[in-house]
Structure 1
């Protein structure tokens, strides 16, 4: 026999509205009344309907997840981590993608498609301008950023300046002073972008030691292997005496490895190359890189957002752990790219 909320209320001696509030554990119901209603519901085997609970509370139990890509290593792993954190408390993710391509403006964020459909926002790897942030703030929902952040909202990521300094310290230990840099396309678009932080770390290291770092020693391009290949070719044409390349991501570094090999250079001896991320292919290719854990970042961001929805304050900046992974591309042994 199906039990109803009205029957629970009748047996507990309260109104249906009070029974509903008690079963949703709302603070407006006295403790002893709440315990009585919940005990009656358990004895009857009554379970409150999720859809009814949602309608009564105004909550959707859904988080809006905004991202430019879902099929790239960093983004797919952050999404996986965020969904894990949400599933643990029976929340869903509503995914909105904004494809970004070189030379093509992406669609602008429209807050109206999110209104009354989500309880909070996770913004993953999205470089939002101030007007877009203000438009999302008009929804009056908590927001947490992953990767590029915003000064007014919590951000989970890594210390990109420290990443670059870690790589540069390693390259110096290997004896390299003529180090070129490949950045991503966001270098000159946003001051708080990952590429800007990593470029700043590279430049500061070189400047402090009186080493070359003018604009002929770096190049930025699309966040893919083709961009890394083309940038490395340009840098090698401009400065044939380069002995090392620090690329802002593993994909860019893999493109640089392909460029070096196309020039007949032996990676690990004639030139060394390092990246950032430690994606799966990095180990296979023997790429020296800085390891980060985007799954943990995604889960942590989701948990911070859920806490913020409950009224708990969150730190504006949370850095995940990073570590240097030294492999063959910085000189231990031979690296050969498998086509």
Structure 2
């Protein structure tokens, strides 16, 4: 049996994380320590990757991206931005997809999945458990989040509280007092911080304006067009008066609400104003008023910081709050 990373660490008098960093040429390892680790690894015949060339090059030249879904608008565009920067720098992208969330399904993302495979990891919006975060930090590779705050690592994202407040304030400013909200489902709010932040912002903005929060007008969705239509239908089926405006936690849910309103003969915006968040590819064509963000730019910014860190720039990985913009189109107007 060949030597292990623990054997190299013991002989060189360093931690296994330091061995990993030294062999891949990552920053924050002194030249003396790196030389000692390389010499020890060679002496013991330790190969740190599936190919012996990994020891010679010192890097995998690969950055991992951990994503909960690959078929959602934000994630797809963010991945494209990340990949552009990686290719410009001669790096490859390795995608770790959790495939969404099924009821009762246990997540399986561990240190062993990334060790020896990647030089850095970008986490897209996903909430990480303390155990997962500790395992990733043990690999001692640069770690960043994209799209939403993740405890324990710096990230690139918009201020979701401010963005949701801006959307709600737009409706209030038009004169709406009966406002409903399509928000993230329970699983979404457990696994991501962003839906919860937007929900808090909506409720706080309504309370500050002295407006009533009607529980029956607050419906969960799954950030898809189909689920937006179903959530809107549940509100439209209620007896009595209906809201004059809907704030939707994503443009896809807003588009679904628009389709359901059209199916029922509810005129947008004459009878019902609708606003979303994102500026989805279809939003301009649909005339949807929204709070615009640019996920490809988020991905590029995060990947750029990761590249700088891997090239030895100290403290290159930092928290970065990106801009957003209220884009007023045809789906919002004063109530009748």
TM more than 0.5: yes
Match of 2:326 in 1: 324
Match of 2:232 in 1: 232
* Segment of structure 1 superposing worse, 232-241 or 162-171: 232-241
The structure-2 alpha-carbon separation of the partners of 1:197 and 1:216, relative to structure 1 and needing over 3 Å to count, comes to same
The structure-2 alpha-carbon separation of the partners of 1:147 and 1:105, relative to structure 1 and needing over 3 Å to count, comes to farther
Match of 1:68 in 2: 68
Say whether residues 1:180 and 2:180 are aligned partners: yes
Say whether residues 1:205 and 2:205 are aligned partners: yes
Instruction: String of CA shifts for 1:228-283, please: whole Å, max 9, x gaps.
Output: 11211222334632000000101110111122223321011100101111111111
Distance in 2, matches of 1:210 and 1:102, equals 39
* Segment of structure 1 superposing worse, 51-60 or 236-245: 51-60
* Segment of structure 1 superposing worse, 124-133 or 80-89: 124-133
**Does the 8 Å CA contact 1:102/1:222 hold for their aligned counterparts?**
no
Q: Note the C-alpha offset of 1:216.
A: 2.7
Distance in 1, matches of 2:189 and 2:114, equals 30
Distance in 1, matches of 2:325 and 2:161, equals 13
Q: TM-score with structure 1 length normalisation?
A: 0.77
Q: Note the C-alpha offset of 1:89.
A: 1.5
Q: How many residues end up aligned between the 2 structures?
A: 285
Which ranges in structure 2 are unaligned for 5 or more consecutive residues?
1-28, 33-50
Instruction: String of CA shifts for 1:276-315, please: whole Å, max 9, x gaps.
Output: 1111111111111111110110011111222333252156
Q: Note the C-alpha offset of 1:159.
A: 0.6
Q: Note the C-alpha offset of 1:187.
A: 5.5
Distance in 1, matches of 2:102 and 2:286, equals 27
Local SS of the residue matching 2:231: helix
Local SS of the residue matching 1:63: strand
Q: Note the C-alpha offset of 1:70.
A: 2.0
Q: TM-score with structure 2 length normalisation?
A: 0.78
Instruction: String of CA shifts for 1:101-122, please: whole Å, max 9, x gaps.
Output: 4636363212212111111101
Distance in 1, matches of 2:292 and 2:104, equals 31
**Does the 8 Å CA contact 1:165/1:202 hold for their aligned counterparts?**
yes
Instruction: String of CA shifts for 1:65-110, please: whole Å, max 9, x gaps.
Output: 1112223221111011001111221111111111114636363212
Distance in 2, matches of 1:104 and 1:232, equals 27
Distance in 2, matches of 1:263 and 1:311, equals 57
